[in-house]
Amino acid sequence: MNISEAAPVSSGALWTGRVFSGLIVLFMIFDGAIKLPPLDVVTQSMVPLGWPADPNLARMLGAIGLVSTALYAWPRTSVLGAILLTAYMGGAIATNVRVDNPLFSHTLFGVYLGIILWGGLYLRDPRVRTLIPFSR
């Protein structure tokens, strides 16, 4: 099956995908932007998670998140961006598992974001619908 054979999507589904993707982009821009200065509240919140309160580490994580988000937001590289953001979320999930944070509110938050991220991409990108055909 090629992209031209992908099932058409309604304008409602397309806009839902854009809204989902937009929410992820806005959240990740906020997440990355607060790590760049980096704010004291950010570096101090890293300590209970087992990370050092290192401004350079916070900047690096912020930059990785922002670059991955930019790739996700740009249609030509959105799949690569989604893969990178999924890896980023995986690191957050692993960190929360390691420190035994609550399951549904903290640990699975990255899973929730990943579902919204891939759901938005699925609804707005025929390449993804071709790769993952839920129905024919």
Instruction: Give one DSSP letter per residue of 22-77, joined into a string.
Output: HHHHHHHHHHHHHHTTT-HHHHHHHGGGT----HHHHHHHHHHHHHHHHHHHSGGG
Q: Is the pLDDT of residue 135 over 90?
A: no
Q: What is the pLDDT of residue 75?
A: 95
Q: Is the pLDDT of residue 136 over 90?
A: no
Q: Which residues lie below 8 Å from residue 96, measured CB to CB, with a gap of 6+?
A: 49, 106, 107, 109, 110
Whether the CB-CB separation of 85 and 119 falls below 8 Å is answered with no
Closest to 94 (Cα-Cα) out of 109, 84, 113, 83: 109
Q: Is the pLDDT of residue 4 over 60?
A: no
Q: Is 2 inside a domain boundary? A: no
* Start-to-end Cα distance in the chain: 11
Q: Is the pLDDT of residue 11 over 60?
A: yes
Distance CA 128, CA 69 (A): 17
Q: Is the pLDDT of residue 3 over 90?
A: no
Q: Is 76 inside a domain boundary? A: yes
Q: Per residue in 49-104, pLDDT tens?
A: 999 999 999 999 999 999 999 999 999 999 999 999 999 999 999 999 999 999 99
Number of domains composing the chain: 1
pLDDT tier, 5 (very low <50, low <70, confident <90, very high otherwise): low
Q: Is 126 inside a domain boundary? A: yes
Please tell me the pTM assigned to this model. 0.90
Q: Is 5 inside a domain boundary? A: no
Domain that holds residue 30: 10-131
